[in-house]
Amino acid sequence: MTNPTTPTTKMIGRHQIRYEPETGFICLRSRGIVDAQHVEQMLAVVEAYAGDEPAFVLADDREVAGLTKDARALLAKRVGRESYVATFGGSFAFRAIANVIVRGLQLLADGFHFSSEPDERTARAWLTERRREYLARTNKG
């Protein structure tokens, strides 16, 4: 399923993952609690969309209520591929928890890049710049 040429949307419980061929972004919109089963399925879809390329993930956290302990543990175990994640819209409490998780992930994987932005526009801008840098560095752009 690497890089489909048309927008593709998948639902995992109440959570939505959509691939944007025009940007190369994998857009994630979580709603409610994210558990380990959701994370497992989300990571499989992200890996399928990204293929051999880094994952460029735009995460809309406006409706996320949190991650279970098992979901956090699974994320820590599964990080490893080069990835760029820009989030926006999470509550203060969720952003605080996410920052702790991210710091741990960054210790485990050199290729994990993260930015928490105030809105979708700035999150997209950050991710667009990271993708541009990647394409230039690899002569794919």
Mean pLDDT by 10 residues, the chain (141 residues): 68 94 94 94 92 94 90 78 86 64 63 87 97 92 64
What is residue 2's predicted lDDT score, i.e. its pLDDT? Answer: 57
What is residue 104's predicted lDDT score, i.e. its pLDDT? Answer: 60
What is residue 88's predicted lDDT score, i.e. its pLDDT? Answer: 93
Domain annotation for the chain: domains and CATH numbers: 8-137 (3.30.750.24)
Residues whose CB is less than 8 angstroms from the CB of residue 18 and which lie 6 or more positions away in sequence, other chains included: 7, 8, 9, 10, 26, 27, 29
Give, rounded to a whole angstrom, the gap between the first and last alpha carbons of the chain. 21
Q: pTM for this one?
A: 0.85
